[in-house]
Structure 1
């Protein structure tokens, strides 16, 4: 077994070169071989997972011919993410995180093997696809808190914003490129080809986890031998800065989430069709990717709480502006701005969560993060859709964006400690 790794000592701040202050800062990839393997492995496997997600949806529709049945795929994924997200975080604070990451990645790999074997055997059953999707979500809910909790152990604190920007770039490129590759591969060689490629992609993540040193949680500061989900929630209740990172994200994702209205907006505002809906869906992702590519300047920001409030307010303002823009390309521009603002917010929220949380609590707080990220947008879809039925899509989108701006303004006025949060002295 490799020796345990200790938390790296902070390095004195140095002024990065001009390219790093403009483009994504790749210093974490250069400074830690373990982080570099983990990032590359996650990038490759994430693209494979998005290919599989599209292939499963296509296969369900081919079997049933029902869009409702395709919608159930998302539900089969959402429920395990919410239920096991908190549990996975508690487990990550109890066991060796390397072993947990390795076991959960192996479980996800085996699920892709099952999909490929069933497709090759001609066994096309919707219940099997639903079951595999649910089990994949369980594996992800166990893997993500463990993996995210490792990063502060692999890198010094000043490199966390750059690492989270690189993680955002991975996520958004996978969301954009994975489905496109999946569609091409399924069209050329069938579902089994997409699933087999996903199996191969998972080997990169497995290799990265295998090469990591032991990652047992820090058991100092009175940490219990058996971590409890309730202990994590109690900790969160007494840590206003960490708690505010979740409140601000909920303000954006619940109050100002226009995604559910894209089909109606495409037809009513732009006279478009499914292609127009695709452009609307892609625009925030494009903005998020650009935000990740040009994220080098984020490393110089110290007032992370203020940066979060401003970026979430920018998201809300951009969504409200989208509600006023009834010209397609102008609307796409504002959605891209919203996506870029979301990337900035995510970088600083993740960094604050990692830096201001004791190591023995990081897994549980990352579990809460999964629940918020998975559940918030779905609740936002329901709220926006209901508001549009009662009023109109225009009113619902504009009101949601303005409500987001107003909410984060009030949060900032009532949480002065969050406004003053300084990355050089992270206080939870």
Structure 2
């Protein structure tokens, strides 16, 4: 029974912290609303323009704006009341979604409205996500950071699985305008939940310009061997995030499979990630968290290798599920380690670096995966891609002594 308790997802943060319950509820509701947008925006753009390039352009505008806004959010979160920063950002995004709904109901919807809304959504999303990460350590004890990370990861994984599916049903029944209206409504609920939090100002505000503030955050991260090491490990997980671009050709040429199997291959990592989050209770009791980060990174990369070394669909699905499992647990342990070792006055800016990695991950990984596919046959591309991750993980383990020797039961000075 004790072993089961250690494995099962730790929900203590939800039981013990009213404020964390508000954040959790806000995130769950928000992710479902954003899931509607994932389907509605590209579908409307394609209907209006008949151009896949336009769909890609809107996506690129959203991604670039989000990436830039994460750093703005980091500065704001380290200067102003974090509750207010999140509430204003989400409230503004909700107005943009309402405008999208009104535009969609017009006889002749305008594309420029979609582009403006993409800029606003990207800016608000980058700012609010960064500030939200900076808030969590203020609400929970240090030993509950892994549990908080697991709960947040679970909401993201479930949102990615269920939100777009519900969005498709909503659009089929009522059109994209209804989906936009529901996204605006869920964002209003999210904003209300955030306003129920207490005031959450940073404990110390540096007297420096915004640009210097961003640079000082980078200097602190690079100078701290624990935080810097965790963020470098995050860069490796970024490199592995582009596996999805290999799937269509791999499924066709190696597995001899059709669209239904392609859908399952895309879903498998999310299933593994959910299993990882649900069995993450043990992550809250770690001492050698650095060693565990490296081990889980190896599991994630090895899953891609295993998926690519087979022509059997079932084995490929298991390999991709193992990749998602290792990736989710890696993020949970890294999240907890960063939160435990970041002083309050730097939390916003360190969260910005974290969020920027997440935002840029799929794009950077896609470039790396594409380069691998250009160098080797598709039958070898997926295992070669995973092998790159294994080699880099091994090199980091061998060279990053501080993270490898990190013991949460000792002081940083003893492992530095």
| Shorter-chain TM band | over 0.9
Match of 1:231 in 2: 216
Aligned counterparts, 1:347-358, within 5 A: 347-358=332-343
Point out the more displaced range, 69-78 or 327-336. 69-78
Cα deviation, 1:296-324, whole Å, max 9, x if unaligned, reads: 22222221111111111111111111110
Of 164, 176, 185, 2:170 maps to: 185
Q: Does the CA-based 8 Å contact 2:22-2:193 persist in structure 1? A: yes
Q: Does the CA-based 8 Å contact 1:48-1:201 persist in structure 2? A: yes
Structure 1 segments unaligned to the other structure (5+ residues): 1-15
Q: Determine if the alignment matches structure 1 residue 174 to structure 2 residue 159.
A: yes
Point out the more displaced range, 24-33 or 76-85. 76-85
**In 1, distance between residues paired with 2:89 and 2:409?**
34
Q: Does the CA-based 8 Å contact 2:5-2:281 persist in structure 1? A: yes
Of 206, 209, 216, 2:191 maps to: 206
Cα deviation, 1:158-201, whole Å, max 9, x if unaligned, reads: 11101100000000100110000000000011111111111221
Match of 2:252 in 1: 267
Partner SS state of residue 203, structure 2 = coil
Q: 1:26 to 1:426 in 2, by over 3 A?
A: farther
Match of 1:341 in 2: 326
Cα deviation, 1:377-399, whole Å, max 9, x if unaligned, reads: 21111121122123222322212
**In 2, distance between residues paired with 1:167 and 1:424?**
25
Of 368, 373, 391, 1:388 maps to: 373
Cα deviation, 1:82-136, whole Å, max 9, x if unaligned, reads: 2121121111101111110110010111111111111122342333212212210
Q: CA RMSD in A?
A: 1.8
Structure 1 or 2: more helix by fraction? 2
Q: 1:218 to 1:67 in 2, by over 3 A?
A: same
**In 2, distance between residues paired with 1:426 and 1:107?**
43
Match of 1:410 in 2: 395
Match of 1:377 in 2: 362
Match of 1:47 in 2: 32
Partner SS state of residue 242, structure 2 = coil
Partner SS state of residue 135, structure 1 = helix
Partner SS state of residue 149, structure 1 = helix
What is the TM-score when the length of structure 1 is the normalising length? 0.92
**In 2, distance between residues paired with 1:272 and 1:183?**
24
Q: Does the CA-based 8 Å contact 2:297-2:393 persist in structure 1? A: yes
Q: Determine if the alignment matches structure 1 residue 92 to structure 2 residue 65.
A: no
Corresponding pairs, count = 411
Q: Determine if the alignment matches structure 1 residue 31 to structure 2 residue 16.
A: yes
Partner SS state of residue 332, structure 1 = helix
Q: Does the CA-based 8 Å contact 2:241-2:361 persist in structure 1? A: no
Q: Determine if the alignment matches structure 1 residue 308 to structure 2 residue 297.
A: no
